Amino acid sequence: MLWPETGLRWMMPSPNMPVPETALVYPGQVLWEGTNVSEGRGTCRPFELFGAPFLDPTAIRNKLRPENTEGCHLQAISFRPTFNKWHGELCRGFFIHVTNPLTFRPYQLSLALLSAVLALHGPDFRWKEPPYEYEHSRLPIDLILGDASLRENLEGSVELKSLQSSWEKELREYLEWREPFLLYR
C-alpha cells in the first residue's frame, strides 16, 4: 500500500521530506549526502531533485541503462539551492518523477547515477569529508553505503550489474528469514 492509498494526511517526518513522493526516492537519493552533489536541500523538493554546477544531464542520461530508470522519468532541471551545498549557484541535474512505484528501484537508480557521475565528472566530483552525523573518521559515503567496499568498487568502475549480483544472495536470504514475522502478506 502506498501512502496516498491510506487516506491519511501526510505529516512531514522532516522538513526535507515534504511530500509522500520524497519517501519513494529517498532510499537511493540519500547517498548524495556523502558527496559534493546537492541532494536538493535548499529547494522545495529535496531528494526528488539533485545536481551540481558541473553536471551534464545529457551525458549522464546517455550512460544509464533502461533497467536503471524503470518506473521513473528523469527530467533535466536547473535550480539554485537557497541553502546547503552550492548555495545560490546554478546547479544542473534531474528531477525524478516516479511513474510506477511498483517497478521503481530507488537504490539501483541512484547507484547508476553515481556511477555515471564518477565516470563523467571525476575531476569535479568529490566525496564529502568527515564528520558526518556521529562519525568523525570514516567517509560519510561509507557510512551511507554501509562500508567502503561499494565506494571502492564504484571508483574502480566495476559494473553495477556485477555489484548487484554480489548482494542478491544475501537479500534473498533476508527475505526468507523475515517471512515468519510479517503481519500482512
Would you say how long the chain is, in residues?
185
Q: For residues 97 and 109, is the Cβ–Cβ distance under 8 A?
A: no
Per-residue pLDDT reduced to its tens digit, 140-179: 999 999 999 999 999 999 998 898 888 888 999 999 999 9
> Top-level CATH class of 13-158?
alpha beta
Q: For residues 75 and 94, is the Cβ–Cβ distance under 8 A?
A: yes
Tell me which of 1-10, 28-37, 50-59 is least confident: 1-10
β-sheet bridge partners, residue 46: 49
Per-residue pLDDT reduced to its tens digit, 58-110: 999 999 999 999 999 999 999 999 999 999 999 999 999 999 999 999 999 99
Instruction: Give yes or no for a cis peptide into 131 (omega within 30° of 0).
Output: yes
DSSP labels for 121-162? HTTT--BPPSPBTTBSSS-HHHHHHSSHHHHHHHHTT--HHH
Phi/psi of residue 46, each to 5°? -60, 150
Q: For residues 136 and 130, is the Cβ–Cβ distance under 8 A?
A: yes
Rounded Cα gap, residues 52 and 78, in angstroms: 9
pLDDT at 107: 96
Per-residue pLDDT reduced to its tens digit, 109-146: 999 999 999 999 999 999 999 999 999 999 999 999 99
Expressed in angstroms, the distance from the first to the final Cα of the chain is 11
pLDDT at 29: 98
Cell of 126: 568529490
pLDDT at 184: 81
pLDDT greater than 90 at residue 185 = no
Domain ranges of the chain: 13-158
